[in-house]
Amino acid sequence: MIIITGGAGYIGSHTVVELINNGFEILIVDNFSNSDIFMIGQIEKITNRKIQYENIDLCDSKKVFDLFDKYEIDSVIHFAAFKAVGESVDNPLKYYHNNLLSLINLLFAIEKNPKIGLIFSSSCTVYGQPDILPVKEENLIKMAESPYGNTKQICEEIIQDVVRVKNIKAISLRYFNPIGAHESALIGELPIGTPLNLVPLLTQTAYGLRTLNVYGNDYDTPDGTAIRDYINVNDLASAHVCALKRLDEITPSFEVFNVGTGKGTSVMELIKTFERVNDIKIQYKIVDRRQGDIEKVWADTSLANKELKWKAKISLEETLISAWNWEKYIRNVL
């Protein structure tokens, strides 16, 4: 059985679908603090399978240990974490408490049964603002620009230290910027309250719910707006299937892989592409830069391409169409 912590969340739900489609038995573990139980039913619609889940806060060590005693677990994919850069700047203790303690509790449980593999949901924020682009896994890890990014750095260090002295297999996938939705439009990014990521802000603006803020147009980039590596969430989900297979092949160790497209796209390019493929005009305004944001980053994915036998396949255009289809669907459901 594969445990997916945060499996009702955005990336988690898409990964659950991908795992089920590849024949894995899964268990979602989520406390629904930053997700909605509604997504469990949506996953069931897509997969035509009854989904097992446990409502557990991973910061509660007793509940984590009880969970590992209850089920026969092969691997854990650990998504569950707070993830908003801006919020982490405003409320750092919330992020350090949740993101570090949840991982530590999981590692204590895995330590008792080291045959259980771990795939950790990391982030390109661990690189800070890279000096060299595209960024490679061996790039210098610089001081994080936000408490969120720092939690990912610290979590990777914790895993590495544990693996060094315990007989554990672990893989860290450093995500770049996941966007889009499942092709069925039945699952997608469902932020609680005001969205903190660009694409749900963009789709809600397209739906007439808000005006989109573009944070800064004075960066050292071709159009002055920040550049990111935007990857389709379904491509990202497929990387976890490849990582699970990799865990079966390796000896106890800690490996790190970038998961992106290898292409940088500016905020303004993304907006213009969304307008073109969905035939809709977006109302936006330029505002000051946001603390914690970096100027530009995109991935070198050659290591994941070679060792995981994985590569991003879905175009930006198709991805932005899927995001808009999801927004229209969920507005009719809510």
Q: Catalytic residues, which ones? A: 148
Element (H, E) at 179: strand 177-179
Helix (H, G, I), strand (E, B) or coil at 78: strand
Q: Are 119 and 75 in contact (CB under 8 A)?
A: yes
Q: Is the peptide bond before 134 cis (omega within 30 degrees of 0)?
A: yes
Non-local CB neighbours of 184 within 8 Å, separated by 6+ positions = 45, 46
Task: Quickly count: other Cβ atoms within 10 Å of residue 158's Cβ.
Answer: 15
DSSP-based helix, strand, coil % in the chain, nearest 5 = 45, 15, 40
- Angle (deg, nearest 10), helices 316-333 and 198-206: 60
Distance from CA of residue 181 to its chain's centroid? Answer: 13
Measure the CA–CA gap between 29 and 303, rounded to whole angstroms: 30
- CB neighbour list of residue 91: distance below 8 Å, 6 or more residues apart: none
